[in-house]
Amino acid sequence: MQHTVSIFWFRRDLRLDDNAALYHALKSNNNVLPIFIFDTNILDKLDQKNDARVSFLHHTICSLQDKLVKENTSLIVLNTTPVEAFRLLLKNYKVDKVYTNKDYEGYAINRDNEIKAYLQQHGIELICFKDHVIFEEKEVVKDDGLPYTIFTPYSRKWKAKLDDFYSKSYPSEKYLDNFYKHDAKPIPTLNELGFEQNTDIEIPNLTVNELIISKYTQQRDFPAINGTSKLGIHLRFGTISVRKLLQLALTLNETFVNELIWRDFYHAITFNFPHINDGKSFRKEYDLIAWRNNEVEFDAWCNGKTGYPIVDAGMRELNATGFMHNRVRMIVASFLCKHLLIDWRWGEAYFAKKLLDFDFAANNGGWQWAAGSGCDAAPYFRVFNPTLQTQKFDKELKYIKKWIPELNSFSYPKPIVVHEEARKRCLLTYAMALKK
C-alpha cells in the first residue's frame, strides 16, 4: 500500500530555514515530499539560453538537494507545466495535502487557482502561506479598508502594525526529520532544461554585510561606493528569509527597513490593482501619452551610448553584471521615459530580461514611478537632469569612468538629445495627453 504524503512545493522560498509553509507542512500529520518545478510556461519565454538567473536557480536547487539528501530525502524536480507536474505526482504518490508559499503576481495567482481546482478534483487541498513579504494583500490598508496607493501613510501603518508576531521566524529547520524518506532522485541538467551555464555574470553572495546595512542611509545614493546590500536576487528567490533580514535591519538602519517596506508596498499594489499585470498604467490616463518610441534611440539607451555618461554607465553596468545601482536605475528610467519619450514598458521589459534581481512588482513599480504613471509616482513635470545627478552622486566620476573608459575620447558619442529641449518636449507631450 502506498504511503500517504503531503507535498511541499518550493518556489520563491529556496531554503530550509525560516520557511513558513515548509514549517506547517513538516508539523502536519504526514511525511513531506519536497518538489520543485522548472515551469516551462516561464522558461520557454526566456530568450537567452545562458540566462544567469536560470544558472543561479539550477545551482540553488542542486545545493538544496545536497542538504535534503543528508536528511535521507530528495527533491522531486520536474521540468514541465505545473498542471502536468501534479498529474505525474498524483500517479506516483498518495497525496493528502499540498503546501506552498504565496506569490502575488498575476501569472502566479492564475497558476495557483488552476492547481487548486485540479487538486480539488482529486480531493486534495492546496494550502498557501505568507512567506515572501512581511505584510501581504490587505493586511495594511486604510481605515476604510481600501488599499493604500501612497507609500508614506502605508509605511506609517506598516510600522504601527509590526510586532513580534509578524517578524518572528518559523523554525522549519527543527523538523527536517519529518521529510518523506527516499533515495536521491536525479535533477535535470541545465542542458536538459534547454539552457547553458552562464560563466560571465557573477552572482552576489548570500552574506549579509552588517556594516553596509548600518551605513546604508549615508552611502546608498553613491554608485561608486559599495553601499547597497546586493541581496535582491536572494530575496527574489527566497534563498534568504525576509523576516530574518528585517530583524537585523531593525537593529541597524531604518532607511534599510524602509526599503523592505517599499518591497511589501509594491507587492500589495500588484495584488490589489491587477490591471498592472496586463501592461496597463496604474493611472489609466497615462496610457494616452503619445510616445515617440524611436528604435534607434532605444538601442543607444540599451547599449549605453546616449552621450549622457551617468545613463550610459548604468546601462553598461546592467549589461555586464545583471545589476544596476538603485539611484542610477531612477536616472536611466527617467531618461528613457522623459528625455526620449519612449514607453516605460520598453524599459520595463529590458530590465526584466537583464536584472538578476528582477521581480515584477518592484520592476513595474519603479518604472511606473519614473514615468509618472504609477502609484505615489514622481509628478510628470519632474525630469531628472543627468548632469545635476552626476554632480550630486558621482562628482569625481569614479563610477562613470569605471564603465566608460573612453569618456574623454572622440569615440564617446555626443548627447543624442539636448536636456532642456527634451524636457520641454516631454512636458508638452504629457500635458496634452493628461488634458484629455
For residue 135, the tally of other CB atoms under 10 A from its CB is: 20
Is residue 192 part of the annotated active site? The answer reads no
**Unique residue bearing C-alpha cell 543624442:** 416
Neighbours of 407 (CB within 10 A): 14
Report which of 100, 106, 147 is spatially closest to residue 264, judged by C-alpha positions. Answer: 147
Residue 270: its pLDDT value, please? 95
Whether 259 is catalytic is yes
| pLDDT at 53 > cutoff 60 | yes
Identify the active-site residue in 259, 272, 294, 385.
Answer: 259
For residue 382, the model assigns a pLDDT of: 83
Taking all residues of the chain, what is their mean pLDDT, rounded to a whole number? 96
Question: Rounded CA gap, 409 and 405, in Å?
Answer: 9
8 A C-beta contact, residue 408 and residue 307? no
Distance CA 175, CA 28 (A): 10
pLDDT digits (tens, 9 = 90+) for 116-151: 999 999 999 999 999 999 999 999 999 999 999 999
Class of domain 275-435 (CATH, top level): mainly alpha
Domain with CATH 3.40.50.620 in the chain: 1-132
For 208-248, what is each residue's pLDDT tens digit?
999 999 999 999 999 999 999 999 999 999 999 999 999 99
35, 8 contact by CB (below 8 A): yes
pLDDT class for 377, splitting at 50, 70, 90? Answer: low
pLDDT tens profile 178-189? 999 999 999 999
- The pLDDT value recorded for residue 380 is 74
Distances (CA, A) of 355 to 6, 51, 204, 273, 319: 35, 10, 12, 24, 9
What digits encode the pLDDT tens for the residues 326-341? 999 999 999 999 999 9
Helix, strand, coil distribution of the chain in percent, nearest 5: 50, 10, 40
User: C-alpha grid cell for residue 157?
Assistant: 501603518
Q: Note the pLDDT of residue 378.
A: 64
Residues of the chain with CATH 1.10.579.10: 275-435
Cα(394)–Cα(228) distance, integer angstroms = 15
Per-residue confidence (pLDDT) for residue 3, from 0 to 100:
84
Residue 394 scores a pLDDT above 80: yes
Supply 226's cell numbers: 559599495
Q: How confident is the model at residue 436 (pLDDT cuts 50, 70, 90)?
A: low
Of 344, 346, 369, 403, catalytic: 344
Geometric angle at alpha carbon 21, from 8 and 365, rounded to 5°: 110
Stretch (H or E) spanning 322: none
Q: Where in the chain is the domain with CATH 1.25.40.80?
A: 135-167+209-272
Looking at residues 49-53, what average pLDDT do you find? 95
* Rounded distance between C-alpha atoms, residue 255 and residue 215, angstroms: 10
Close Cβ partners of 363 (under 8 Å, ≥ 6 residues apart)? 348, 351, 352, 355
Instruction: Tell me which of 31, 101, 198, 262 is the catalytic residue.
Output: 262
Q: Is 291 assigned a catalytic role?
A: yes
**Residue 391 pLDDT class (50, 70, 90 cuts):** very high
What percent of the chain lies above the pLDDT cut of 70? Answer: 99
Strand partners, 10: 36
Give mean pLDDT, residues 311-329: 97
367 is catalytic: yes
Whether the per-residue pLDDT at 1 is higher than 60: the answer is no
Domain covering 135-167+209-272, topology: 1.25.40
**How many Å apart are CA 307 and CA 81, to the nearest integer?**
44
pLDDT of residue 435: 81
> Cα angle at 324 between 426 and 294, to 5 degrees?
35
Active-site annotation holder among 139, 291, 294, 385: 291
Cell for 187? 535533477
* 266 — pLDDT class (breaks 50, 70, 90): very high
* pLDDT (average), residues 17-36: 97
CATH dotted code for 1-132: 3.40.50.620
Residues 146-169 pLDDT 10s: 999 999 999 999 999 999 999 999
- Yes or no: say if 100 and 90 are a contact pair by the CB < 8 Å rule: no
What's the Cα-to-Cα distance from 293 to each of 194, 281, 301, 350, 381, rounded to whole Å?
Answer: 33, 17, 12, 14, 20
Distance, in Å, from the CA atom of 94 to the CA atom of 81, rounded to the nearest integer, reads 20
Q: Could you give the CA distance from residue 211 to residue 207 in angstroms, rounded to a whole number?
A: 11
pLDDT above 90 as % of the chain: 95
